[in-house]
Each structure stands twice: as C-alpha cells, then as structure tokens.
Amino acid sequence: MQTFFVEHIETPTGQMRIITDVERRLRAADWDDHEPRMQKLLQRHYGAGSVELREPARPSAAARALSAYFAGDLNAVDEVPTETNGTAFQRAVWTALRNIPVGRTVSYGALAAQIGNLKAVRAVGLANGANPIAIVVPCHRVIGANASLTGYGGGLHRKRWLLAHERGDRPLFAEHDLVAAR
C-alpha cells in the first residue's frame, strides 16, 4: 500500500485535484469533475486498492506551482518533480511532452519523431491519453496533424483555455463552457 496526498486548488477552469507522494513528487493532477478518470489511471498504474489517499499537513510545491501557473507564471511548473508508474514507452512520451515549450504545440507525428519512432503515432496518442499529470506533463500541447484540437482528458474546452492562456490571450472561461462539456 502506497500513501499519496490529495489536495485541491481552485483554477479558472474548475477545481483541480493534485496527488503527491511522500517524497513530494507529483503523481497525478486532474480536474475534480474528472475524478473517475484519475481513479482509473491510478488503479491502472499502481493496482486496485494499492493507494491510500490522505490530506497533506501543508500545501505541496506542486500545488503552489500549479496555482502560480494559473496566475500567469507559465514556467512555474517546469521544475516540479514527477513520478509515474507507466511503461517505459509511456514515460518516454511523457518526458518528451515536458520538452514542448510553453505556447507551442506539436502533432502526434512530431512527438513520435522526437522519441525516435516515426511509426508510433497511434501509440504516442495512447500514451498521451494515459498521462496522469495534467499541465506539468503538458499533453494539452499536442494537436492533430492538420492543427486541429484533438481529445484532451480534461475536455476540449480546457485544452482551448490552456493553449490560449499560454499564448497570453487572456482566455475567458464561462460557466456555459462547463455545462457544454458535461
């Protein structure tokens, strides 16, 4: 049984849930309205019933960094330590994601090329979708080959918001966006 700590922060796109371990490494981050997805990913990566969630004694560095990111310090999450339990291929994709500069996007094909496997476009997409750490491992920066916004675990409305935020477009997030996403 592993002990992880769960925190919640308010963001312009809804309340976020942040999971860290005893070494204060970020293990998962997602929005509260996607908690079932997070639970599924935690079970897939660590095993059913193998994680105990507790409240931390004090806010984690990850929670402070994510709050700063949403407040406009877009590089605040760059040095957040992470730990995942994905496959070697997934971890390679997630490492490559962290190298995409703020305000930039890449296609799945370009990401496959970055990890040295041009034929792995679909596998890159699957690894991207299995990423348990939103924003810090910026899977929202991956788009379709035709520059279209493709799926995002937090919802396309959040992907649009995050990309606009990183471009400095002062994104608005209206309540009707949340209703439309449900």
- Structural domain boundaries, residue 133: 88-181
82 falls within a domain: no
Count of CB atoms situated within 10 Å of the CB of 73: 12
85: annotated active-site residue: no
- 159, 124: one domain: yes
Instruction: Provide the sign of the torsion angle of the four alpha carbons 164, 113, 66, 19, taken in this order.
Output: positive
In whole numbers, what is the pLDDT of the chain averaged over residues? Answer: 89
Whether residue 64 is found in the same domain as residue 99: no
- CATH for 137: 1.10.10.10
Among 37, 71, 105, which residue terminates a domain? Answer: 71
Phi, psi at 55, each rounded to 5°: -85, 140
92 in the same domain as 27: no
- Mean pLDDT confidence for 135-153: 91
State the pLDDT at residue 170: 67
| pLDDT tens digits along 70-106 | 999 999 999 999 998 889 999 999 999 999 999 999 9
Annotated active-site residue in 139, 142, 143, 162? 139
- Asked if the model's pLDDT at residue 169 lies above 90, the reply is no
Q: Does residue 77 fall inside a structural domain? A: no
The answer as to whether 81 is a domain residue is no
Q: What's the number of domains the chain is made of?
A: 2
pLDDT of residue 172: 60
Please determine, for residue 142, whether its predicted confidence score (pLDDT) is greater than 70: yes
Q: Is the dihedral of CA 60, 35, 123, 2 positive or negative?
A: positive
Q: How confident is the model at residue 171 (pLDDT cuts 50, 70, 90)?
A: low
> How far is CA 54 from each of CA 18, 28, 58, 100, rounded to the nearest angstrom?
11, 14, 12, 32
Does one domain contain both 97 and 147?
yes
For the segment 13-55, what is each residue's pLDDT rounded down to a tens digit? 999 999 999 999 999 999 999 888 888 888 888 888 888 899 9
Give 180's pLDDT tier (boundaries 50, 70, 90): very low
Pairwise CA distance, residues 147 & 83, whole Å? 30
At 174, the pLDDT band (50, 70, 90 cuts) reads very low
Per-residue pLDDT at 154? 87
Confidence grade of residue 112 (pLDDT, cut at 50, 70, 90): very high
Per-residue pLDDT band for 153 (boundaries 50, 70, 90) equals confident
Pair 168, 92 in one domain: yes
Report the candidate in 29, 54, 3, 2 with the shortest Cα–Cα distance to residue 162. 29
pLDDT exceeds 90 at position 150 = no
* Domain match, 100 and 142 both: yes
Model-wide pTM > 0.85: yes
Question: What secondary structure, in 3-state letters, does the chain show?
Answer: CEEEEEEEECCCCCCEEEEEECCCCEEEEEEHHHHHHHHHHHHHHHCCCCEEEECCCCCCHHHHHHHHHHHCCCCCCCCCCECCCCCHHHHHHHHHHCCCCCCCCEEHHHHHHHCCCCCCHHHHHHHHHCCCECCCCCHHHEECCCCCCCCCCCCHHHHHHHHHHHHCCCCCCCHHHHHHHC
Report the alpha-carbon distance of residue 38 to residue 130 in Å, rounded.
10
Whether residues 113 and 169 share a domain: the answer is: yes
